[in-house]
Structure 1
Amino acid sequence: MLYQREFRAFTAVVVAFFIVILLGKPLIRMLIKMKIGDRAEFNQEELNALMKSKENTPTMGGVLLMGSVFITTLLFADLFNQYVQLLLVVIVMFTVLGGSDDYLKLVAAHRKVGSRDGLYRWEKILFQFGIGTIVAVMVWQYAGDSDSARSLTLPFMRTYIPGMETLTLSPNVIILGFGFFSLIAIFMVMLMSNAVNITDGLDGLAPGTVTIASFAMMVLCYIAGSSEHAGQLLMPYVEGSAEMMVVAGATAGACLGFLWFNCHPAQVFMGDTGSMPLGGLLATIAIIIRQEFLLLIIGGVFLMEFGSSVLQIAYFKATKGQRIFKCAPIHHHFHRKGWSESQVVTRFWVLAVILAMIALVSIKMR
């Protein structure tokens, strides 16, 4: 160890922040010059009118955001750590997937005029499934003979028997086989990558909520990577997972830096190039430390956004044209109800902080 892990993690926050701050303006000028701008194209005229001011705002800013996370991780993380290596692979794969989707939305002439679909839905699902499968297989292999690294961790469930001198698994712990482990991992990767993607619809909403989630994941990685703290809090101990604090810290710092340019009125959007890898990254960290359910609480805003879209589509089809919300995802519903964009974003940030606090406090209640 060149430096104490905690120091490197918080240094990663600062460095990732300043990388984005320093390179943000040049990137925005380059994107404007290349005419890589967003378009307000939704299936509701009222929403198009609300979002009209965002036309031609540069998109694909996620290249800088994820590039900052990647570079900062290379600088400060232990690159021999298998979990860090996996996270770097996930960043690259999802950034390529999201970038391809953004590129096709902007320039692909063979797409139907006015379409915002980018990659076809089945293409995105296929690639997300493939990345999720890679994550599942690699994490399973890394777990080795450790039952705690393959356990199903439910809220308020104790992983270990309290008061024992060594970490002794509780008889109530559910040890997953490869099949169920893989299903959960693939589901989480696909869910979170899409949920964060859907959340990225208002200025500052996605980077702000991901910043909050990333700081919460830093805490969980710190606990999971320490046998002492994991034993005290009765959480699964996963050897080597504390090194992911650096990656989570880099993610938080990069998102804070991006928020500088993405806050209302946004100068640049991250696009799928940023939102997809951010969601995939959070999911992969949660899978490694066996805290998928806590991530669902921490990322409650993302689930609310995703769930509102699914409900809206299902209800619309079932009732042949009726809607539950004025518009989905739900941030557009509140926007159309009269909340200003800044009000929606700030209130969702507050909700994200509350959910993160609930998730972290619940650890103590095991």
Structure 2
Amino acid sequence: MVAIFLISLITSFIFLPYFIKLMTIINVDGQPIRSFCLQDHFITKKGTPTMGGIIILASVLCSILFYVALNIKVLLLLFIITSFAVIGFLDDYYKLTVKSYHGLSGKVKILIQFFVAAVSVLILKSYSESNFTHVYLLNGFTIDLSYLYIPFAAFIIVGAANAVNLTDGLDSLAATQSITSFASLGLSAYLVQADVNIILSCIAFIGAILSFLWFNAHPAKIFMGDVGSLSIGAALGFISILIKREILLAMIGGIFVMETLSVIIQFIYFRYTKGKRIFLMSPIHHHFEKKGWSETTIVIRFWVIAVVLSVLAIAFFL
């Protein structure tokens, strides 16, 4: 376990500085910043290169391919990671080429994501036991979703992917939350005696993201981009399915859920009140920025909440 962690950590740490230089040369303007975003972000974040998720994923994939047994579960995890990374890459590339924060069509991205997720779950189901469609709730109680499990599982994967994507709005925020989530899922996998290869995959992600965090700490030298956030989120969702603790992820990733709900609530309220807002800005981390919290304060406090939620989730849902 230490070996795969070090491989992922060191690989990511070695190549990220070169990637930062490369992306700075290729696109001097860096990641486009939303025009209605906080003014401070234009000053501190303009010109920062993006797509650092490429190095994260390359490190993870290399570590898994060299160190993890490639059974059907791992192969499907790699398929999920790669597919969502490609979607994110195309979105990032489009943003950089047209120099706009608007990427590919949201509807198209969601449809492709659901297709990839559903196909992956269907394949996994064909290799799994008869209780695959059972969802673990609490104290050993389960519910059989039967045919509804496929769309449910696909929703978990797509929801997690986009939740991480929405959270990736402050330096270190998505990275710290992702590390906590992978650590919690890895521990959960160990406690429920899941496939050791799933645990190793979680460790590989932790190592790669830790190295990325070194360069993503405020003020960030690079952003992970959609190529990183979408694939990391999809991996979290799929791993929760592999260890049959789908509901657990919602609590472990409570910050991701909160960020997503803040966007949904804001959108619905704004639409039906014709311009009124509940939050000063969404996702909710921007609301706290508007309230005067510093970027670092938000990241640390959100991380503290994530750790507490993870401990409670593991205590009550395992």
**TM-score of the two chains, using structure 1 as the length reference:** 0.84
Contact 1:297 1:359 in 2 (8 A): yes
1:138-164 alpha-carbon deviations (Å, 9 max, x no partner): 22112133x2x331111x2315xxxxx
TM-fit CA distance, 1:43: 2.4
Equivalent position of 1:124 in the other structure? 109
Q: What is the CA–CA distance in structure 2 between the aligned matches of 1:144 and 1:48, rounded to whole Å? A: 53
1:18-48 alpha-carbon deviations (Å, 9 max, x no partner): 111111111100000101611222325xx13
Query: Which of 84, 91, 94 is the equivalent residue of 1:104?
Result: 94
Equivalent position of 1:194 in the other structure? 162
* Fraction of identical pairs, as percent: 37
Structure 1: stretches of 5+ with no match in the other structure: 1-7, 109-113, 160-172, 227-240
**1:18 pairs with 2:10:** yes
**1:54 pairs with 2:37:** no
Q: What is the CA–CA distance in structure 2 between the aligned matches of 1:135 and 1:51, rounded to whole Å? A: 40
Contact 1:40 1:48 in 2 (8 A): no
Equivalent position of 1:158 in the other structure? 140
**1:35 pairs with 2:27:** yes
Q: What is the CA–CA distance in structure 2 between the aligned matches of 1:176 and 1:314, rounded to whole Å? A: 29
Equivalent position of 1:72 in the other structure? 63
1:192-233 alpha-carbon deviations (Å, 9 max, x no partner): 01000000000000011100100111112223335xxxxxxx
Q: What is the CA–CA distance in structure 2 between the aligned matches of 1:128 and 1:42, rounded to whole Å? A: 27
For 2:124, give the aligned amino acid: V
Q: What is the CA–CA distance in structure 2 between the aligned matches of 1:359 and 1:102, rounded to whole Å? A: 34
Equivalent position of 1:244 in the other structure? 198
Contact 1:198 1:305 in 2 (8 A): yes
Q: What is the CA–CA distance in structure 2 between the aligned matches of 1:223 and 1:51, rounded to whole Å? A: 45
For 2:80, give the aligned amino acid: V
TM-fit CA distance, 1:359: 0.8
**1:349 pairs with 2:303:** yes
Cα distance change, pair 141–225 in 1 and its aligned pair in 2 (3 A) = farther
Contact 1:223 1:242 in 2 (8 A): no
What are the residue-to-residue correspondences of 1:164-203 with 2, within 5 Å? 173-177=142-146, 179-203=147-171
Contact 2:184 2:252 in 1 (8 A): yes
Contact 2:27 2:96 in 1 (8 A): no
Q: What is the CA–CA distance in structure 1 between the aligned matches of 2:139 and 2:117, rounded to whole Å? A: 26
Contact 2:32 2:100 in 1 (8 A): no
Structure 2: stretches of 5+ with no match in the other structure: none
TM-fit CA distance, 1:115: 4.2
Query: Which of 144, 149, 152 is the equivalent residue of 2:129?
Result: 144
**TM-score of the two chains, using structure 2 as the length reference:** 0.96
Q: What is the CA–CA distance in structure 2 between the aligned matches of 1:73 and 1:107, rounded to whole Å? A: 32
TM-fit CA distance, 1:295: 0.3
Query: Which of 111, 114, 120 is the equivalent residue of 1:135?
Result: 120
Richer in helix (by share): 2
Number of aligned positions between the proteins: 317
